[in-house]
Amino acid sequence: MESKIEEEIIIQEILPRLPIKSLFRFKLVCKKWLDLITHDPLFLAHHSHKGHNRSKSTNITSPSYFSYKSELFFSSDDFYQFKWCKPTFLTGVMDDVMGSTKGLIYGVCSRYRKIFICNPITKHTVYVPNPEKQLILALAWDPYIPSSGFTIVNPIFLREENDGTHNVDVFQFRVYSSKIGEWRDSENATAFRVPRRCLQFRMCQAVYTGRKKVYWSLMRHILWFDIEKDVAGLVECPNHGNFVHPDEDGSFTEIGECDGAVTYNWMTRNGNVEIWLLIEKDNEFEWAKKHTVRLQKIIEENWHVVSEICNGLNIKKRKNAAVALAKRHHVKPLPHSGGELVWFLIKTLNDFHKIFSFNLRTRELKLINEDGAIEPPLYPFMPTLLHCPS
């Protein structure tokens, strides 16, 4: 007896559960599948929804990471670990990607006169004018409500003041809505007691949580802006003095998004990775510690994975390896996006970087990029087949 799977089951139940990498191959099956996987909006939304639920329900995998300088995607399960073909407008340009939100990357091009939003999987790209030629941006969009379009938020420095005790930087936010098709100024400027250079970083990392707020990492503080209410504020990070300061060139970011909340992590001087959640309710914020990952114990248990790198750095004993790496700034935790995996980079003797994942459940340390080195920054990234919103 022969059995045949109905086409409806294949299209609605099987294909949406396949990884991006497999779907690219299945485009070649027939013209109908090609059109479906490439253009059908219902299928694209269904696939992204299934993929999201798979990671959330199993809670085993976490989103991949995207290195635009190395043009690579990294995943612990090899579902979508592959080379990215740069769009032609970024050919030869290395520093124009500003960040990643919900499967889209964004940045500036054409001598900073335009902002681009690109799905690196589908190559679909939209452009927004950048009249102020600004480099500090945040992209907000909800892939489950494509009709809502997207919003770009840009904090602009206005002036420096002194209140008699502290220097105060005054900022105004500019907001672009794709539904309106133009920029607008926020109703009120907000003063922040932070060093002026904080918002002048070339790679000031932004995060969108899906709750009408965008956040920027300012080393010891997190700046937030409410898109609907035009309200902004500043949250002090839960540092207690016993941490390794992040690189001031912005090559590494510390904030991510997990189930609608901002995550913040850093490396302590004794070699621990602390991961915190920013709990928010009615513009009131509270930090809650999510994980403490003891890197020293991880290295001792998985010495065979890192011994070659440590020996190259003249770190011969596994007992003090984590502290030595932390003090030399050779190890950096990556933004945490949920799941059971914690990711971090280790810089080798030649200033190359290797990316590792650690499974909190199995306690397995895994070297992700065995074949070569990567170049930071890396952004959390969950591939999607949805086109960029308009």
Q: What is the pLDDT of residues 201-211, one digit of tens each?
A: 545 788 998 87
Measure the CA–CA gap between 38 and 47, rounded to whole angstroms: 12
Can you give the pLDDT at residue 327? 80
Q: Report the range out of 12-16, 243-247, 284-288 with the highest average pLDDT.
A: 284-288
Residue 32 lies in a domain: no
Provide the pairing of β-strand 125-129 with 114-118. Answer: antiparallel
Q: How many angstroms separate the CA atoms of 66 and 280, rounded? A: 28
pTM over 0.75: yes
Work out the average pLDDT over 283-309: 91
Give the model's confidence band at 218: pLDDT under 50 very low, under 70 low, under 90 confident, else very high.
Answer: confident
What is the predicted pLDDT for the residue at 182?
92
Higher pLDDT, 343 or 67: 343
Task: Report if residue 9 sits inside a domain.
Answer: no
Question: Is 233 inside a domain boundary?
Answer: yes
Q: Which domain holds residue 166?
A: 40-381
pLDDT given for residue 379 in this prediction: 87
- State the CATH number of the domain containing residue 139: 2.120.10.30
Q: What is the mean pLDDT of the chain?
A: 78
Alpha-carbon distance of 354 to 67, in angstroms, equals 12
Q: What is the DSSP string of 207-257?
A: EE-SSSEEEEEETTEEEEEETTTTEEEEEE----S-BPPPPTTS-S--EEE
pLDDT, tens digit, 9 for 90 and up, residues 130-179 = 887 877 899 998 877 777 889 999 988 788 887 777 777 788 899 999 99
Is 20 a domain residue? Answer: no
In a domain, 14, yes or no: no
pLDDT-based confidence at residue 301 (cuts at 50, 70, 90): very high
Beta bridge partners of 213: 226
Q: What is the count of structural domains for the chain? A: 1
| Integer-rounded Cα radius of gyration of the chain | 22
pLDDT at residue 34, as a whole number: 77
Most confident of 181-185, 323-327, 384-388: 181-185
Domain contains 8: no
Long-range contacts, stretch 80-84, CB < 8 angstroms, 24+ apart: 80/19, 80/20, 80/21, 80/383, 81/21, 81/368, 82/21, 84/120
pLDDT: is 314 or 62 the higher one? Answer: 314
Largest Cα span, the chain:
88
Q: What is the pLDDT of residue 289?
A: 92
Which pLDDT belongs to residue 120? 80
| DSSP H or E segment with residue 66 | strand 64-67
Query: Which ranges constitute the DSSP H helices of the chain?
Result: 7-9, 20-26, 31-39, 41-58, 295-301, 303-312, 321-327
Among the ranges 83-87, 98-102, 216-220, which has the highest mean pLDDT value? 98-102
| Among 97-106, 296-305, 311-320, the range of highest mean pLDDT | 296-305
pLDDT exceeds cutoff 90 at 270 = no
Q: Tell me whether residue 74 is in a domain.
A: yes
Whether 28 shows a pLDDT value over 80: the answer reads: no
Is 108 domain-assigned?
yes
